[in-house]
Amino acid sequence: MASPWRAAWAAVMVMAAAAAVSAKECTNIPTQLSSHTVRARLQASPGAAEWRLRELFHDHLNPTDEAAWMDLMPPPRGGLPAAAGGHDHEEFDWAVLYRSLKGQLPGGGGGGASPASAAAAGPFLEEVSLHDVRLDPDGDAAYGRAQRTNLEYLLLLDPDRLVWSFRTQAGLPAPGEPYGGWEGPDVELRGHFVGHYLSAAAKMWASTGNATLAGRMSAVVGALRECQRAAGTGYLSAFPAEFFDRFEAVRPVWAPYYTVHKIMQGLLDQHVVAGDGRALGMVAAMADYFAGRVRNVIRRYSVERHWASLNEETGGMNDVLYQLYTITNDQRHLVLAHLFDKPCFLGLLAVQADSLSDFHANTHIPVVVGGQMRYEVTGDPLYKEIATFFMDTVNSSHAYATGGTSVSEFWSDPKRLAGALTTETEESCTTYNMLKVSRHLFRWTKEIAYADYYERALINGVLSIQRGRDPGVMIYMLPQGPGRSKARSYHGWGTQFNSFWCCYGTGIESFSKLGDSIYFEEKGERPALYIIQFIPSTFNWRTAGLTVIQKLEPLSSSDQYLQVSLSVSAKTNGQFATLNVRIPSWTSSSGAKGRSSQSASSGIVVIACHYSYLSTYGLKR
């Protein structure tokens, strides 16, 4: 039987879904302004931009009676307003707000258990550390070349130029010159790429051990720490806090929380992946600052007003806050994560409404990824169902053969993609985030379909966005139209120091973590390894005390077979381990062939897979 809080939350989801369906867009800004491309174009037109933005907002906004009255009323005394379950005290009560969101207010029958006591879902397949995976530089050229090209680009970037706008905003001396493009000092989205850089650098360093890169990323973290200390409030950004005043007032501004998410995620990756002891405190201070802002909006108006402000793009704020909660176990971080889940969108998925058309794709995919983290943290099965339905819907109704999705940044009519085949299809950012969705689902279920999707999207939608061996030359959209060219699309190929589009940020991350989804493991008395991608690499399987080397024979048009060999070696004998290898949908298990051999003297097991023969092997070391 469903608990009362679950029924209450489901009711909220249904109402949010109904509202979204009736309005058809889950946003308070005009549909076209959800597009990063449109925002950049407007901001590049001095004088006309602000007038046009205000005109579009004015024409679109239809405030509810409740919102209009709340704007006229004085701020309520005490804590939460009645609509959010408030009580007459001055201190904002995060526990009360949590129970309100979960339908657990006094008399609601939902108990009142601390969120920290919620049982997390699982067990799932575990990620392996990027520190233990090395791509083969002499193997399949596509992966090794892509990684090396990306490393070259990261090493071209100057820490002083990256943090120029942060230092200027903090009132600190800023040597050098700022970068251009979307990192330019007059662009409202400035700072977003720096967050991506921190994530990409941490993962590239883990993947390669490059000492020069380690010094560069440490310098960026140090500079940002100085900026945060200069602010004195926990605030850290390349733009003024006034942007959030406009966000909270539902006035025109270009996605400030989107950028803050990137910075928080980058710092968290510096802590988790790179082991930088300074970064966690910086993320926590940012979370505290923005918790205060959200608290003030809810205290002054209502929680509904906060939900309304989320109709501007907020990236994966819920995702990074759930991650932070797993480290800090701080209830405020959990509640704040809930407050960045977007009910008007997740509600549609909760009632399994296939209504993605006209939504801005990359605004909403990260919200789903955050919902997946909510499932992992709290064990709430509703969010597993939401993610599963979302993935099924995108794949069945909104995906190209490449695995990509979106046209001009939006989802269009379901199952009618032929009319949308242009140069402005398959935004790179959407592929980056859909890979996260499928990766979570595979870890939960071990279903091969999700690993197959990951392979297709990775090969077509990630490896294809670099221009050969040119460091820092990447694409925004991957054209799907017949005879269309990457170079002749709207954005064309980017430049090293004067583009910094959203897809540049996700691009440098994608090429820094090519090794993160080849291997997954199960720990226990008999550890098990799952090999789901065929990428030449070496994995140091610490749990089992084994080294796994994967090699591929070069492909040619005259050979219809993919040949994979796996070498497993150890220095000691005695422990059993299980090796699981994927059978992809594009092969035939009945036509596959495999052989294995073992050298008693060296303790090496070699498994040769012909036509990608995939099965389960018992290994003894």
More confident residue, 164 or 604: 164
Q: Are residues 279 and 315 in the same domain?
A: yes
**CATH number for 295:** 1.50.10.20
pLDDT 10s digits, 114-172: 444 456 788 999 999 999 999 998 755 789 999 999 999 999 999 999 999 999 999 99
Q: Are residues 336 and 456 in the same domain?
A: yes
C-alpha closest to that of 317 among 364, 272, 384, 379:
364
More confident residue, 78 or 172: 172
Mean pLDDT of 344-364: 91
| Residue 63 within a domain | no
Q: How confident is the model at residue 228 (pLDDT cuts 50, 70, 90)?
A: very high
| Residue 435 within a domain | yes
Residue 226's pLDDT is what?
A: 98
Please state the domain count of the chain: 2
Residue 598's pLDDT is what?
A: 62
Q: How confident is the model at residue 516 (pLDDT cuts 50, 70, 90)?
A: very high
Q: How far apart are the C-alpha atoms of 321 and 373, rounded to whole Å?
A: 9
Domain end among 517, 539, 561: 517
| Residue 56 within a domain | no
Q: How confident is the model at residue 463 (pLDDT cuts 50, 70, 90)?
A: very high
| Residue 37 within a domain | no
Q: Are residues 196 and 298 in the same domain?
A: yes
Q: Are residues 571 and 499 in the same domain?
A: no
Q: Are residues 429 and 548 in the same domain?
A: no
Question: Is residue 229 scored above 50 in pLDDT?
Answer: yes
Cα separations in angstroms, 172 against 165, 177, 197, 219: 10, 14, 21, 15
Q: How far apart are the C-alpha atoms of 396 and 382, rounded to whole Å?
A: 21
Q: Are residues 419 and 466 in the same domain?
A: yes
* Conformational region of residue 233, where left means phi above 0, alpha means psi within -120 to 50, and beta covers everything else: alpha
| Residue 460 within a domain | yes
| Residue 33 within a domain | no
- The domain in which residue 171 lies consists of 126-517
Q: Are residues 445 and 305 in the same domain?
A: yes
Mean pLDDT of 377-383: 95
Name the most confidently modeled range: 101-110, 567-576, 577-586. 577-586
Residue 285's pLDDT is what?
A: 98
Mean pLDDT of 281-302: 96
Domain end among 464, 483, 517: 517
Domain end among 500, 517, 534: 517
| Residue 181 within a domain | yes
Whether 5 contacts 107, CB under 8 Å: no
Q: Are residues 470 and 581 in the same domain?
A: no
Residues in a beta bridge with 596: 607
Question: Is residue 103 scored above 60 in pLDDT?
Answer: no
Tell whether omega for the bond before 414 is within 30 degrees of 0, i.e. cis. no
| Residue 26 within a domain | no
Q: Are residues 175 and 320 in the same domain?
A: yes
Burial (CB count within 10 angstroms: exposed 0-12, middle 13-18, buried 19+), residue 251: middle
More confident residue, 67 or 549: 549
**% of residues, the chain, pLDDT over 90:** 63
Q: Which two tokens stand for residue 38?
A: 């449109």
Q: At what angle do helices 141-156 and 192-208 cross, to 10 degrees?
A: 130
pLDDT 10s digits, 162-182: 999 999 999 999 999 999 999
Residue 7's pLDDT is what?
A: 42
Q: Are residues 404 and 532 in the same domain?
A: no
Mean pLDDT of 470-496: 93
Q: Are residues 499 and 527 in the same domain?
A: no
C-alpha closest to that of 162 among 199, 216, 205:
216
Question: Is residue 62 scored above 90 in pLDDT?
Answer: no
Q: Are residues 409 and 452 in the same domain?
A: yes
Q: How far apart are the C-alpha atoms of 533 and 171, rounded to whole Å?
A: 48
Question: Is residue 14 scored above 50 in pLDDT?
Answer: no
Residue 599's pLDDT is what?
A: 55
